[in-house]
Amino acid sequence: MKFLVLRKPRVNAAMLPTSKTFREAKQAVQELLRRGALDCIYAIPGGGGSVSIANADSPEQLNEMLMNTPLFLSSEWEVRPLTDYAKYLDNVAAAFEKQGH
């Protein structure tokens, strides 16, 4: 399964990241990219966090992956499941056809 993962810094986080945390996060992301657990990741300029496409067999597996990242406790996460666009459009068209449209 593919997931859209949005990360933004947690305001007033109890655990503030350090330069070491960010360097560890970079290494962790590079390993996730190498393993194929992430398709891509981009930073949002101005300290806005990141956006990525993650691969996991289940939401639970994705949650475990996120919890193991160095920035987990100092970040807010938004996760959205993704589906193949062509299949999605086929399903929408079939639903319209079923309704006689």
Q: What is the pTM of this model?
A: 0.87
Summarised one tens digit per residue, pLDDT across range 23-66 is 999 999 999 999 999 999 999 999 889 999 999 999 999 999 99
Q: Is the pLDDT of residue 74 over 80?
A: yes
Q: Are strands 2-9 and 75-82 parallel, antiparallel or unpaired?
A: antiparallel
Q: For 59-85, b where at least 16 C-beta lie within 10 A, e where not — what string?
A: eeebeebbeebbbbebbebeeeeeeee
Q: Is the pLDDT of residue 96 over 80?
A: yes
Please state, in angstroms and rounded to a whole number, the distance separating the CA atoms of residues 14 and 92. 45
Per-residue tokens: 28? 């962790």
Query: Hunting for tokens 């859209």 — which residue is that?
Result: 4
Domain positions in the chain: 2-98
Assign a CATH topology to domain 2-98: Alpha-Beta Plaits (3.30.70)
Q: What mean pLDDT is predicted for residues 77-81?
A: 97
Q: Is the pLDDT of residue 11 over 90?
A: no
Please state, in angstroms and rounded to a whole number, the distance separating the CA atoms of residues 87 and 97. 15
